[in-house]
Structure formats: structure tokens, C-alpha cells
């Protein structure tokens, strides 16, 4: 996407810039988290990436062959069928002529997300997390190059997040680029790249460690590290860092943790165990 913009006219007659000049290039198998406060433009950006939100300016340079699929916040919002097999039939019959290939794709996608239910199972019997996995499986059956997840775990219990992370790890290894929009920054600790939005603009595009900890100057001593109070991009945006990062920052301020930048609980545990 090159300098894409989405502007709306607000009731007061002023222009509301939902997305305002964002450029973004995606690589195969890349895992990107999009973060930002309410109303910063994340979902509008998702709509642009999927291709259903019209542009006010700029360009979306995706080849017509690029397959892009999206999964939204509400698990029920995307479900059309009564049963799992019906859901796949709706999604695949216009895409593939061969019924055998449709069934192969369905079984492979269900296996990838770990849904063990028989195809004739009623969707109404699935939990919210299982429905969301079904939505992802249906999207995967189209063999997408890009999968956009717009807060897929927002309505679900914390266990669903772990399941979703495991599924995304598998998908990116298979070469699909994944863009995961989230309010829970714990969900943005396994990705390759974080994009932070503020008032429609991209204000950070880079590695997760630098987003959560800021950039440490070369050769910083432990003492200087203690004094380093330069807020990280995450703090500057007023977003709550993951618990692991909050704990590590506290230890850094006390001079107990120096150059490491743990993002996941298990990484912090490893650091503390070194003491």
C-alpha cells in the first residue's frame, strides 16, 4: 500500500482522517501486529488490506491473483452455514470445481487449526473460540497469501489466545503473511514486526523489542541503563505493555536486569534463573 488514505466527512462538516497516508509492504510468511488506541485507524487499515474499504487517496498495489482473507472480531458475524461442512461448501464451491479438492482443503484446514469435530457437526454447538478457529479454517481453505485477523480473540477467553497464537505460528511457517490487529499487547510479542497507529498515521513500524523497550544506546552501562528513562514507543502511545515487559522494566529500573529485552514470560523466567 502506498500512501493510502481514508477520509470521512464528520457531522460537523470537518474531515475525519481514519487512515492518513500509510505505506506498507508485506513479505510472504511475515507476521505483523497492528496496535493502537481506540479509533486510531486499525480496522480501517484492515478493511483496506482486505480490499473492501474504498480509498480516498493513495494506492493498493496488490496483484489480482493475491488471495486475501479476513477474520473479524465477532465469531458469529462471518458464519453462514448451519454445519461445518455447509460453511466450507459456501466458501469453496465458487472457488473450486472439484468436490474432492474441496473436501481435501476442508480436512487440511480443520487439521491445521486443530478442530476435531466431524464435518456434519452443528456450528451452534461450538464455543466462541471454536467458531473463531472455524472462521480461520474457512479462510485458510482458500489458500490465502495474506490473512487479516481483526481482534480475533476480543470476545474470547484467554485460553483462545494461546490456541490462536499456535495456529498463526503454523500458518506463517507455511508462507501466509498474517496481520493481527489487537488491543492485547501480549498478543504482539511473537510477531516479526509491530505497526502502531495513532490518529490514522503509522507512528511505529519495526521490531517488537524496540517497540516495548525503546532503543538502548550502544555501550550503555548498567548504571546508565538505570537512569535511562527515555519512554519506549509503546509508553509514548499510552498503551499498556505486556506484564512480562512491565516486570522487566521495573527490574531494569532497579538495576537488576541489564541488556536483555524479554517479551514472553518464559524469556523473563530464563533471565531471572541466571541470578
Ligand X SMILES: Nc1ncnc2c1ncn2[C@@H]1O[C@H](COP(=O)(O)OP(=O)(O)OP(=O)(O)O)[C@@H](O)[C@H]1O
- Binding to ligand X by CB under 6 A, coded x per residue (else -) over 71-110, reads ----------------------------------------
Q: How far is the CB of 39 from ligand X (least distance, A)?
A: 4
Long-range contact set of residues 103-112: C-beta below 8 Å, sequence gap at least 24: 105/141, 105/143, 106/137, 106/141, 108/141, 109/137, 109/138, 109/140, 109/141, 110/84, 110/137, 112/137, 112/140, 112/167, 112/170, 112/171
Of residues 42 and 106, the one with the C-beta less far from ligand X:
42
8 binds ligand X (CB under 6 A): yes
Q: How far is the CB of 236 from ligand X (least distance, A)?
A: 17
Q: How far is the CB of 14 from ligand X (least distance, A)?
A: 11
Residue pair 171/165 in contact (Cβ under 8 Å)? The answer is: no
Of residues 43 and 189, the one with the C-beta less far from ligand X:
43
Beta carbons within 8 Å of 204's beta carbon, 6+ residues apart: 194, 195, 196, 211, 233, 237
Q: How far is the CB of 151 from ligand X (least distance, A)?
A: 7
Q: How far is the CB of 16 from ligand X (least distance, A)?
A: 5
Which residue is listed with cell 462538516? 13
Q: Which of residues 24-53 bind ligand X (CB under 6 A)?
A: 36, 38-44
16 binds ligand X (CB under 6 A): yes
Q: How far is the CB of 55 from ligand X (least distance, A)?
A: 14
Q: How far is the CB of 42 from ligand X (least distance, A)?
A: 4
135 binds ligand X (CB under 6 A): no
Long-range contact set of residues 251-257: C-beta below 8 Å, sequence gap at least 24: 252/225, 252/226, 252/228, 253/226, 254/226, 255/222, 255/223, 255/225, 255/226
Which residue is listed with cell 455447509? 86
Q: Is 218 left (phi over 0), alpha (psi -120 to 50) or beta?
A: beta
The count of chain residues that interact with ligand X, using the rule CB under 6 A, is 11
- Binding to ligand X by CB under 6 A, coded x per residue (else -) over 216-245, reads ------------------------------
- C-alpha closest to that of 232 among 221, 251, 246, 218: 246
**Binds ligand X by CB under 6 A, chosen from 1, 4, 18, 49:** 18
Of residues 183 and 264, the one with the C-beta less far from ligand X:
183
Of residues 41 and 152, the one with the C-beta less far from ligand X:
41
Of residues 37 and 207, the one with the C-beta less far from ligand X:
37
Residues interacting with ligand X, by CB under 6 A? 8, 16, 18, 36, 38-44
Amino acid at each position: 500500500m502506498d500512501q493510502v488514505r481514508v477520509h470521512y466527512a464528520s457531522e460537523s462538516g470537518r474531515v475525519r482522517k481514519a487512515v492518513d497516508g500509510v505505506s506498507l509492504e508485506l513479505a510472504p510468511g511475515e507476521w505483523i501486529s497492528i496496535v493502537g488506541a481506540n479509533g486510531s485507524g486499525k480496522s480501517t487499515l484492515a478493511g483496506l488490506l482486505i480490499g473492501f474499504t474504498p480509498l480516498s487517496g493513495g494506492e493498493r498495489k496488490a496483484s489480482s491473483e493475491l488471495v486475501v482473507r479476513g477474520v473479524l472480531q465477532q465469531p458469529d458475524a462471518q458464519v453462514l452455514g448451519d454445519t461445518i461442512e455447509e460453511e466450507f461448501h459456501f466458501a469453496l464451491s465458487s472457488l473450486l470445481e472439484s468436490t474432492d479438492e474441496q473436501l481435501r482443503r476442508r480436512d487440511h484446514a480443520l487439521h491445521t487449526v486443530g478442530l476435531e469435530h466431524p464435518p456434519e457437526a452443528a456450528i451452534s454447538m461450538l464455543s466462541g473460540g471454536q467458531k473463531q478457529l472455524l472462521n480461520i479454517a474457512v479462510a485458510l481453505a482458500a489458500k490465502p497469501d495474506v490473512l487479516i485477523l481483526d481482534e480475533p480473540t476480543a470476545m474470547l477467553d484467554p485460553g483462545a489466545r494461546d490456541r490462536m497464537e499456535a495456529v498463526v505460528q503454523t500458518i506463517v511457517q507455511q508462507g501466509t503473511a498474517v496481520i493481527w490487529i489487537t488491543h492485547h499487547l501480549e498478543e504482539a510479542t511473537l510477531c516479526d514486526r509491530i505497526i502502531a497507529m495513532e490518529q490514522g498515521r503509522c507512528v511505529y513500524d519495526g521490531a517488537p523489542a524496540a517497540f516495548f523497550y525503546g532503543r538502548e544506546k550502544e555501550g550503555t552501562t548498567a548504571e546508565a541503563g538505570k537512569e535511562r528513562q527515555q519512554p519506549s514507543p509503546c509508553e509514548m502511545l499510552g498503551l499498556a505493555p505486556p506484564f512480562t515487559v512491565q516486570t522487566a522494566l521495573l527490574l531494569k529500573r532497579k538495576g537488576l536486569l541489564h541488556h536483555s529485552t524479554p517479551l514472553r514470560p518464559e524469556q523473563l523466567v530464563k533471565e531471572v534463573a541466571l541470578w
